[in-house]
A and B are shown apart, each in its own frame.
Chain A
Amino acid sequence: MPARRPNRRIETTALKGKNEMACFTVPLAAAAAAGVAKHAAGKGRRTSLAEKFRWLVDMMLGGSFLLAIEHVWHGEVTWRFPFLTAVSEGPDAVSEMLHEMATRGVAMAVVVFAVWGCMVAVSAVLERKAAANV
């Protein structure tokens, strides 16, 4: 029986020393929270605050989507249960995955949230200036 050929993508990832596994799930959860906040702020209407929350949802959800593609490419996320390769590899891998989510994942969500905050602040200043000129 011929030896099973290793997954070149996983091999490449391992050679590079990359260990990101499920960091995109943290911004994905943040996107869900931002979506709830958007609905609460808008209550079915298009308000300015709901529109601002929509920017955050777009950034978090869109970014997580593209990161998820990268994780599928690297073989860290699969189409079969339990979906995360690390979960099927044992407790050590799960521990590493959780650590990585708590560090990189949270850092990603915080950075995106901070940039969104800056955008909202700049937008508020511009809106105030426009209102003063009218």
Chain B
Amino acid sequence: MYEIAAVAAAVAFAVAWFAGARRSRYARPVFAAMMMFLGASLMWGVDCVAEAMSGEEALDMSRDAACLAALILGAGLAVFAAMCVAERLRGSVPAKA
């Protein structure tokens, strides 16, 4: 479940990036969040393939996994929000000559 959530989040941030976020003030946080979820998706993808090859269930669709998916999305979005705040603070501080 959390693997699917990470892929969905990566796709959502990619859509936001190509829809115009790359020209906005928050281009860097959007791109970094996209990379973070993409990296996690690839790593869990490898994990799923390894599980499937060893004859085990690749995707966990239990309620426990759904809670973990929500936690992972929340953590990723918290990192994104922190980067947005940092970007905003950096933008409000006048650059030294």
Binding-face segment, B18-26, B55-63, B84-92: B55-63
Report whether B56 and A63 are in contact in the complex, using a CB–CB cutoff of 8 Å: no
Interface positions, chain B 23-79, Cβ under 8 Å from A, are 31-33, 35-47, 50-51, 56-57, 60, 62, 64, 68, 71-72, 75-76, 79
**Cβ contacts under 8 Å, A67 to chain B:** 40, 43-44
B contact residues, total (Cβ < 8 Å):
31
**Cβ contacts under 8 Å, B40 to chain A:** 62-63, 66-67
Report whether B43 and A27 are in contact in the complex, using a CB–CB cutoff of 8 Å: yes
**Cβ contacts under 8 Å, A69 to chain B:** 68, 71-72, 75
Report whether B45 and A111 are in contact in the complex, using a CB–CB cutoff of 8 Å: yes
**Cβ contacts under 8 Å, A128 to chain B:** none
Query: Which size bracket describes the interface of A in this complex?
Result: 20 to 34
| A17→B52 CA distance, assembly (Å) | 11
Report whether A108 and B43 are in contact in the complex, using a CB–CB cutoff of 8 Å: yes
A18-B51 CB under 8 A given contacts A27-B43, A70-B72: yes
Interface positions, chain A 1-47, Cβ under 8 Å from B, are 8-9, 12, 16-18, 20, 23-24, 27
Q: Which residues of A contact B (CB under 8 A)?
A: 8-9, 12, 16-18, 20, 23-24, 27, 55, 58-67, 69-70, 73, 103-104, 107-108, 111-112, 115
What are 15 A-B contacts defined by CB distance under 8 Å? A20-B47, A23-B47, A62-B39, A62-B76, A63-B40, A64-B43, A65-B75, A66-B39, A66-B76, A67-B43, A104-B47, A108-B43, A108-B46, A111-B43, A115-B42
